[in-house]
Chain A
Amino acid sequence: MYSVKLGLKSLWRERWINILSVLTIGVGFFVLAVVALLLLNLELASRRLPEKFTITVFLEDEISQRGILRIRKMIERATVVEKVDFISKEEAFEDLKKSLKDSAYILEGLDRNPLFPTFVIRLRKSAFDREKVEQLIKEIRGMRGVEDLVYGEEFLGVVSRFRVMIRLLSITLMGLFFVATVFVCYSTVKILFYRRKEEIEIFKLLGATGGFIRLPFLVEGSIIGLLGGLFSGGLLYGLFEISRRYVAGGVPIITGLNPVLTVVAILPVFGVVLGVIGSAIAVGRVKF
């Protein structure tokens, strides 16, 4: 394939401009990857937050065993619930005594147990969904035998808003970087295309097809993208290794990422795809 050879030759002949674009794309991808990984980590961390988040349901004092069972069953049916613990009035009182330790004497004056029987609901960390949690809270509120419940309403809102923001930010960033990469490939190939305009005109007059003219540029664009991707993958891997070896205990936010290696492998693929897109736009339709 002579056409492919032309692309490879030009890659070498125009090496300075090509190296420049490879570096641009490489650094861009690297920054993107690091930011994306940080965001992903934040996202994962925030996903763990609801695990600690519990809903405490206070039941009516005089509730029957059957009533307790009924409420428990209803709560357990909800998908967001991981575990439901029942704490009886007496257990709650013992707990309180224990936590007061030496000051437990202040309870001695009480002639009856002032505490309520309670359910402590632990939420599932995966499949955390704010709307579903709120739905559950509303349902529990409406149940017979429920006195009151305590939950971190504010906290819940913050977590969920935070996660929406992270997601938006990641998507925007990714989009921006993709467009930027396509643009770098586009402008590089466009420059190469104009530099070879005369040659292309001659090729056309000699009977070259559009494919023959386009292919070298697509080859060039894809290789620029590939090298950019490999370069950024190398940087990322380097950062990963350095932080693992030399930072005591490792920088958890980087070393804790098992997706790092996946990202390192994916970057060159992205590079090729975006390179081809950019150069295809740059060359456009070949007119005769």
Chain B
Amino acid sequence: MIAFSEVTKVYENITALRKITFSIGKGEFCFITGPSGAGKSTLLKLIYLAEKPDEGRINIAGWDSDRLKMSSIPYLRRNIGIVFQDFKLLSNRNVYDNIAIALRIRGVPEREIKDRVHEALKLVNLRHKVDSYPDMLSGGEQQRVTIARAIVGDPTVLLADEPTGNLDVDNTAGIMRIFREINAKGTTILFATHNKELFRHTGLRVLTLDGGNLVSDVGG
């Protein structure tokens, strides 16, 4: 599903990723961990094509990153659900519209959107906040809106960048349960976190980055 080979990413003078090689199969649930600044977010950005690799090649669902036409990027992204570390919610739209936008972009009819948005909100326990604006929500609530937006489109790949960073224990457990359910239905998941508790006893695959190097690849 996702394959990196010898991928290097350099920002000005910082090497965020150095010769990274790994591949993730369809339906896998894989954690990416490592200290702050290790390159976790950068790795995910390369997958959703917000950044281009300086060296090496990335293959996503059969698409080669350096042979991809710019006009097909949107269609590739529609298969990827992203939980951004910084949320990226639209501050001038309420919760409903923030989630619905992911479907409107695809031209899904409004009636279908309504059902799917409510279903996604139910999953993240936020049905009572459907009319709120992001500024009126707590950090954890905003994070759950972001998760709802990422899963509402039934993506084949879900990229989650610290999706539980702002959540309490109960909500974290809830989100983890949702992710496991989605994964059980066949969605490939990449989950970046520095919280080792999340994967300690799961037996799932864990990629560890440190200073831009892939230092371990265990489990799975």
Chain A residues in contact with chain B, CB under 8 A? 2, 199, 201-210, 212, 287-288
**Interface residue? B75 (CB, 8 A):** yes
A-contact bits for B83-103, CB 8 A (1 contact / 0 none): 010001010100000000110
A204 CB, nearest partner CB in chain B, Å? 7
A287 to B162, CA, bound (A): 27
B70 and A207 contacting across the interface, CB-CB below 8 Å:
no
B46 CB, nearest partner CB in chain A, Å? 13
In the complex formed, the residue of A with least CB distance to B81 is A206
**Interface residue? B48 (CB, 8 A):** yes
**Interface residue? B129 (CB, 8 A):** no
CB neighbours of B78 from chain A (8 A):
207
**Interface residue? B180 (CB, 8 A):** no
In the complex formed, the residue of B with least CB distance to A210 is B71
A288 and B49 contacting across the interface, CB-CB below 8 Å:
yes
**Interface residue? B77 (CB, 8 A):** yes
Chain B residues in contact with chain A, CB under 8 A? 48-50, 70-71, 73-75, 77-78, 80, 82, 84, 88, 90, 92, 101-102, 104-107, 149, 153
A203 and B49 contacting across the interface, CB-CB below 8 Å:
no
B70 and A204 contacting across the interface, CB-CB below 8 Å:
no
Checking B70, B71, B92, B101 against A206 with a beta-carbon cut-off of 8 angstroms, the contacting residue is B101
B83 CB, nearest partner CB in chain A, Å? 11
21 contacts between A and B (CB under 8 A): A2-B105, A199-B90, A202-B88, A202-B90, A202-B101, A203-B101, A203-B105, A205-B82, A205-B84, A205-B88, A206-B77, A206-B82, A207-B77, A207-B78, A209-B75, A209-B105, A210-B71, A212-B105, A287-B70, A288-B73, A288-B74
In the complex formed, the residue of A with least CB distance to B110 is A2
B108 CB, nearest partner CB in chain A, Å? 9
